[in-house]
Every structure is written in C-alpha cells, then in structure tokens.
C-alpha cells in the first residue's frame, strides 16, 4: 500500500513539473537508469531522444531513484560498456554526511538486528551480542547538524581547492543538492573530461590529503630544530602552516580541544602537547615572520608528523573518492525525487548556498499544514526531523500520527512508517 501511494505521489510531482523540468547538458550522449518501487534491480542502458520522452517515462513509471551517466557516449543505449563508445566523463565529486564522522549520528542513526530486533544506535556491530545475528536493517537519518557539515565541506572544496589550487573557473563548477545528506559537484572544465582513472585518483588523493609524505615539502628535523612551513607556501605546506597559525591564536583551550579530539584518531601525547602549548607564542611569531626554522626541543619527528596529520584531517575535503575516479558513474538526475527522502535533486547557485535550507527549499510539495496524512510508525523509532519550520517526532513503534504531507512523505520514504488512511485533504493526487 505504502509503495503504491508513494509511486502516485511521485507521479503527481512529475506531472506537475512536466513543463519546467530541467534538461541536462549533452542530453543525447547520456545513459539513463532507474530503480523502481516494486521490483529489485536497476533498469539502465536507456537513451531518450529528448527531454519530453524522459518526462513521459518519469510520469508513467515514477521511479524511486533516477540517474544519468556522468559519462558521454556515442551510443549510450548500448547494453555493454564496450559497445557504448566512450567520449569522456565529467569530473564528479560527491560530498555526503555518510562519509563524514559527525557526532549527530549517535543521536539519530541506528541499526536493527533482523534476527532478534535489538536496536543499536550509531554504528552497527559486526555481530549482534544477543543472538549473534549478522544482518541488520540500517536507518540513516538527517538533521541540521549533518547537513551543515556537508555544506561546510562544499565551501572547503570549492574555495580552498578548486578555485585556489586548481584555478577552475566558477562557471565550470556546477553544484547540486543530492536530495538526501549532501551535495554533488560537477566540473565541466574541458581538461578534466579526458582524464583517465589514475589522474582522477591523483586529484582525489590531493584534496583528501592522502598518499603523500610531509618530507616532499622539505619538512625535516635538524638536531632539535624542525624545518617547517610558512604561511605563504603554495599547496598543502601553506595550508598546514595557516591552519596551525589559526589554531595557535585561539589559545590553549582550543588547542587541547583539537589535538585531544578522538575524531582525528590517535591523540597527541600529553607531554608533547604541553611542550607544544608552552611554545605557542614562539610558533606564532615564527609563522608571522615567515621563518622555517622552529627551535623546539622535546618534539620528535613522529610527534611533528602526528601534529601535521591532525592538521591535514582538519583541512582536507571529505569526498567519496570512489565516485570521482569512476569513469562510468551514474549520478542523480537533476529535478528528480530522491526515494529515501522525497526531496528534490536541485541545481544550486553557489552564491546562494549559504542561505539554502534543504529541509525547507528541497520539499517536493507546497508545505500546506492542512494537507495531511495518517501514518503508523513501523520501525522501533522515528527520530525527530525538521520539515520546513516545524519539528516532527521522535515517534515510537506503533504510534499513530497525523502529519503534513512533506513530513509524511519523508517518514514513508525512510521506511519507518506506513499509510493507515489517505487524508481527504490530500489534493496532490
């Protein structure tokens, strides 16, 4: 019942947006793919002659998830990659809260053992301690905190890497809200289109701070002195020097918060941290004077490298590397609805990103509080969620609620609730 109703809602959305549905670039060179509500497996290797035919397909089938290729093909409808005729691929970056260790996960994500029903908050165990079951249903929620973390990473990637280090023109950077927990960035710069997988991995490793040695940047220990970096250095050495300066000027409490934070892995040795803090003003003066020699005894090579690793983890862009290096990647179709939330996949202007509110601006239907649905909570817990300006939940299993359409759509797409009675006030179908 729930899936049939969700399909009807998606059909209603596509029908109402048939005239203004966005058309992606190089439309006839793209492969399209879909996941449906009522059967397993992806339907792919599809090609449409025009946007009109794509819209007709969306209205008639109302898929749960809709995709198109980041790749350009001579024959996108061919059933094997060898037959398609590869022409090039956009460089796509996926920034998603799923890949960022946000503290809010402990509050709203959970897993349920399929064998005994035990609930585990945060990360699921490898094996259920109650029944030793190894299969779990995972509920991945969203909130303002994790959405804001994803947004900050978009700013970090674009400002500190794409514009600064790679000098990519802003007009070649396309930004999309994924419809769920993050953002997609498409780079249209021609020099990126023909990069092979190894080159894409090099770029991905650079922005994530992986695969390099600090010694490549002329870091070395000379007796008790460290040959450091200056705030004017290009690339990563300059980023580390500037991040170090920004932390040092905030004082001891902030320094301890960062270098003792387990989110960055192994904490800095307490004795080393004490020496580091006691030399705070000296390091600030050396950085401001752009001097490379830092005369501090008691901090070993390994300790300096651990300091740099923590700084690197604060600077890096948290991206899904697998997406960026895949030459045949399928990505969310702009204008489509995300089957895990019911939210729109939206193209955004970078200038408006700061004000963009996914939980309000990406809603699929007018947020009419009188347009309601009656639901029953089927999962052990439906955590609190903000939809528009209002909060809903938390709700417990078996609880019956009457809530506005967009909130109800979200709960049903998350598979934590089912429809009990179609509201008479629902005018969307």
Kindly state the helix (H) or strand (E) to which residue 106 belongs, with its residue range.
helix 105-108
Whether 428 has a pLDDT exceeding 90, the answer reads no
Q: Is 398 helix (H, G, I), strand (E, B) or coil?
A: coil
Distance of CA 65 to the CA centre of its chain: 17
Query: Do 292 and 329 share a domain, yes or no?
Result: no
Using only C-alpha atoms, the chain has a radius of gyration, in whole angstroms, of 25
Question: What is the pLDDT at residue 385?
Answer: 96
Query: Do 174 and 262 share a domain, yes or no?
Result: no
Phi/psi zone of residue 267: left (φ > 0), alpha (ψ -120 to 50 degrees), beta? beta
Residue 396, domain member (yes or no): yes
Q: What is the pLDDT of residues 258-314, one digit of tens each?
A: 999 888 888 888 999 999 999 999 999 989 988 887 888 888 888 888 998 999 999
The confidence band for 60, taking pLDDT boundaries of 50, 70 and 90, is very high
Question: What is the pLDDT at residue 156?
Answer: 96
Give the helix ranges, DSSP H, for 51-185: 51-61, 81-84, 105-108, 144-157
Q: What is the pLDDT of residues 168-187, one digit of tens each?
A: 999 999 999 999 999 999 99
Query: Do 191 and 153 share a domain, yes or no?
Result: yes
Are the C-beta atoms of 45 and 15 separated by less than 8 Å?
no
91-96 and 32-35 beta bridge pairing: unpaired
Q: Which residues contact 426 (CB under 8 A, 6 or more apart)?
A: 371, 372, 373, 405
Question: What is the pLDDT at residue 426?
Answer: 59
Looking at the DSSP assignment, which residues form a beta bridge with residue 185? 93, 175
Question: What is the pLDDT at residue 39?
Answer: 86
The confidence band for 107, taking pLDDT boundaries of 50, 70 and 90, is confident
Percent of the chain having pLDDT more than 70?
Answer: 96
Looking at the DSSP assignment, which residues form a beta bridge with residue 275? none
Q: What is the pLDDT of residues 315-340, one digit of tens each?
A: 999 999 999 999 999 999 999 999 99
Residue 209, domain member (yes or no): no
Residue 164, domain member (yes or no): yes
Whether 85 has a pLDDT exceeding 70, the answer reads yes
Average confidence (pLDDT) over 28-46: 94
Query: Do 177 and 54 share a domain, yes or no?
Result: yes
193: nearest Cα among 85, 84, 329, 90: 90
Tally the domains of the chain: 4
Distance, CA of 292 to CA of 253 (rounded, Å): 26
Query: Do 359 and 378 share a domain, yes or no?
Result: no
Query: Do 112 and 58 share a domain, yes or no?
Result: no
CATH code at position 13: 3.90.920.10
Question: What is the pLDDT at residue 427?
Answer: 57
Query: Do 308 and 244 share a domain, yes or no?
Result: yes
Least confident interval from 26-30, 141-145, 217-221, 286-290: 217-221
For the chain, the average pLDDT equals 91
Last residue in a domain, options 139, 158, 190 = 139
Distance, CA of 195 to CA of 200 (rounded, Å): 6
Query: Do 335 and 394 share a domain, yes or no?
Result: no
Query: Do 227 and 194 share a domain, yes or no?
Result: no
Are the C-beta atoms of 383 and 396 separated by less than 8 Å?
no
Query: Do 219 and 332 share a domain, yes or no?
Result: no
Question: What is the pLDDT at residue 123?
Answer: 79
Q: What is the pLDDT of residues 382-426, one digit of tens each?
A: 999 999 999 999 999 999 999 999 999 999 999 999 998 655 555
Question: What is the pLDDT at residue 303?
Answer: 87
Residue 285, domain member (yes or no): yes
Show the domain range for 428: 365-429
Q: What is the pLDDT of residues 354-378, one digit of tens each?
A: 999 999 999 999 988 778 999 999 9
Question: What is the pLDDT at residue 149?
Answer: 94
Question: What is the pLDDT at residue 423?
Answer: 52
């Amino acid at each position: 019942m729930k899936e049939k109703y969700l399909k009807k809602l998606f059909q209603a959305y596509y029908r109402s947006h048939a005239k203004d549905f966005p058309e992606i670039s190089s439309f006839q060179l793209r492969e399209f793919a879909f996941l449906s509500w009522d059967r397993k497996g992806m339907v792919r290797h599809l090609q449409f002659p025009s946007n009109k035919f794509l819209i007709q397909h969306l209205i008639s089938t109302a898929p749960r998830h809709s995709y198109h290729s980041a790749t350009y093909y001579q024959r996108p409808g061919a059933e094997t990659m060898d037959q398609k005729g590869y022409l090039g691929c956009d460089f796509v970056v996926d920034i998603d809260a799923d890949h960022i260790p946000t503290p809010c996960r402990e509050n709203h994500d959970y897993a349920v053992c399929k064998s005994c029903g035990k609930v585990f908050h945060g990360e699921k165990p490898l094996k259920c301690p109650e029944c030793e079951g190894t299969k779990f249903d995972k509920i991945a929620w969203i909130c303002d905190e994790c959405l804001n973390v994803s947004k900050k990473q978009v700013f970090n990637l674009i400002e500190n890497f794409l514009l600064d280090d790679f000098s990519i023109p802003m007009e070649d950077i396309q930004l999309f809200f994924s419809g769920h927990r993050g953002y997609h960035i498409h780079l249209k710069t021609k020099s990126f289109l023909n990069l092979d997988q190894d080159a894409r991995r090099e770029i991905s490793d650079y922005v994530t701070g992986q695969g390099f040695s600090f010694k490549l940047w002329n870091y070395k220990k000379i007796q008790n002195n460290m040959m450091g970096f200056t705030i004017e250095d290009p690339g990563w050495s300059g980023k580390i020097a500037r991040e170090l300066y920004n932390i040092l000027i905030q004082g001891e409490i902030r320094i301890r918060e960062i270098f003792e934070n387990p989110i960055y892995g192994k904490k800095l040795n307490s004795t080393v941290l004490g020496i580091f803090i006691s030399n705070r003003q000296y390091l600030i003066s050396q950085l401001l004077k752009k001097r490379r020699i830092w005369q501090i005894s008691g901090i070993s090579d390994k300790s300096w490298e651990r300091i740099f690793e923590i700084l690197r983890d604060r600077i890096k862009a948290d991206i899904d590397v697998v997406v960026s290096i895949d030459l045949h990647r399928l990505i969310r179709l702009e204008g489509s609805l995300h089957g895990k939330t019911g939210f729109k996949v939206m193209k955004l202007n970078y200038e408006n990103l700061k004000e963009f509110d996914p939980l309000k601006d990406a809603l699929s239907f007018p947020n009419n509080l009188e347009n309601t649905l009656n639901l029953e909570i089927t999962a052990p817990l439906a955590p609190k969620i903000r939809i528009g300006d209002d909060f809903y939940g938390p709700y417990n299993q078996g609880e019956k609620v009457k809530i506005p359409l967009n909130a109800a759509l979200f709960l049903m797409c998350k598979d934590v609730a089912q429809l009990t009675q179609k509201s008479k006030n629902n005018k969307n179908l």
